[in-house]
Amino acid sequence: MSLSIGIVGLPNVGKSTIFNALTRAQNAESANYPFCTIEPNKAVTPVPDARLIKLSELVKPQKIVHATVDFVDIAGLVKGASQGEGLGNKFLANIRETQAILHVVRCFENDDVIHVSGTVDPLRDIETIETELILADMQTLENRVDRLEKQVKGDKTLKPLIDAGRALLAHLEKGEPAASFPGRDDERARELMREVRLLTDKPFIYCANVDDAGLTEDNEHVNAVRTLAESRGAQFVKVAAKVEEELIGLSDAEAKEFLESYGAAESGLGQIIRTGYHALGLISYFTAGEKEVRAWTVTRGAKAPQAAGVIHTDFERGFIRAEVIAYDDYVKHGSEAACRTAGVLRTEGKEYVVRDGDVVHFLFNV
């Protein structure tokens, strides 16, 4: 599995600039006018992980394979998008399948950069976007409930599902996101929400796009967005899109030095991915051999057979056992053979819960 993040925001808040920077590819046109992004931009970017690099230095494999993140950038939304204003919400289907949403909010003043509403007000902007997402969810849910009501005449067992849909719809009509629906623990509600994949049921990462000065000192706009995120139990990151663009093409050492000049220890990409992993409860484990050293993404709490299944379904189906070395032990001893000799290579069975950073070799038979 890989992490997938949809990027939303008003037009001209820096979404496409951030997309370019995060994916290290100039394949999303950015310009100082609304609706620059017409078709949804999609890209796959490797997850930066220093542990993977360290393991590769020890193992010296033929290749290194990073875990990946799928980013999807769609056209900016405006007030009234659900009624067809601007480019409407025609591209929201492209992010309905993503696991999390990165909501980019402009948090800097600059008269030379046009704001679609004329002034910079991040809380107003957030409300505008979230209202459109709720309205889009209402349309999706109404369509599904309407279809169910036509089917219930021939299948009375569908009525509880319809009731759950109507209750959820009433909640959305109050302007509340699906994530706060009080009846979400009901089995029928969960079934319906899994099926329609509502946008406002996804984890949100609020991304404050700042200028250079905003990297070293928070302004009132940044503080407002951070406070809102905290009040909702949502994730928050602060990124300077233009600074991130400057990292494109730099070596790791050059990028580190450049970020340190702004007092930043981590790139925007690193922040967003790390935050996304945390929000979705994801971890990475590694496989290491002569052919490749590779990072794999699994849900925290996954047992060994499930983790093996990420590599191939046969691994899960025919799972016998796992040989596991903690990352720190591997680095300390320098090789799998040395770890085996030192007694830090463990044999684990089907009930073992994989830990972040485990170096694992699966044994299976099909």
Structural domains in the chain, sorted by start: 3-48+68-279 (3.40.50.300), 301-364 (3.10.20.30)
What's the rounded mean pLDDT across residues 270-287? 91
Instruction: Give the separation between CA 287 and CA 293, rounded to whole angstroms.
Output: 6
Q: Which of 22-31, 118-127, 299-308 has the lowest mean pLDDT?
A: 22-31
Q: Tell me the sheet residues that pair with 102.
A: 7, 205
What's the rounded mean pLDDT across residues 112-140? 88
Instruction: Give the separation between CA 71 and CA 269, rounded to whole angstroms.
Output: 11
pLDDT at 33: 33
What's the rounded mean pLDDT across residues 168-181? 94
pLDDT exceeds cutoff 60 at 87: no
Q: Which two tokens stand for residue 107?
A: 């948090």
Asked whether the beta carbons of 9 and 77 are under 8 A apart, the reply is: yes
Asked whether the beta carbons of 7 and 73 are under 8 A apart, the reply is: yes
For the chain, the average pLDDT equals 86
pLDDT at 13: 85
Reported as a single tens digit per residue, the pLDDT across 216-240 is 889 999 999 999 999 999 999 999 8
Instruction: Give the separation between CA 75 and CA 80, rounded to whole angstroms.
Output: 14
Task: Summarize the annotated binding site for ATP as residue ranges.
Answer: 12-17
pLDDT at 234: 93
pLDDT band at 170 (very low <50, low <70, confident <90, very high): very high
pLDDT at 26: 36
Of 189 and 326, more confident = 326
**Residues contacting 123, CB < 8 A, separation 6+:** 224, 225, 228
Give the whole-number percent of the chain exceeding pLDDT 70: 90
pLDDT band at 110 (very low <50, low <70, confident <90, very high): confident
What's the rounded mean pLDDT across residues 248-255? 80
Instruction: Give the separation between CA 47 and CA 273, rounded to whole angstroms.
Output: 7
What's the rounded mean pLDDT across residues 321-325? 98
Reported as a single tens digit per residue, the pLDDT across 30-85 is 333 333 343 457 778 888 889 999 999 999 999 999 998 888 887 656 565 555 55
Alpha carbon 350 to its chain's center: 29
pLDDT band at 88 (very low <50, low <70, confident <90, very high): very low
Task: Summarize the annotated binding site as residue ranges.
Answer: 12-17
Instruction: Give the separation between CA 9 and CA 256, rounded to whole angstroms.
Output: 29
**SS3 labels along 240-284:** CHHHHHHCCCCCHHHHHHHHHHCCCCCCHHHHHHHHHHHHHCEEE
Question: What's the pTM value of the predicted model, to 2 decimals?
Answer: 0.84
Instruction: Give the separation between CA 239 and CA 210, rounded to whole angstroms.
Output: 6
Instruction: Give the separation between CA 8 and CA 119, rounded to whole angstroms.
Output: 19
pLDDT at 31: 36
Work out whether strand 319-325 and strand 346-348 pair parallel, antiparallel, or are unpaired: antiparallel
Three-state SS at 77:
coil
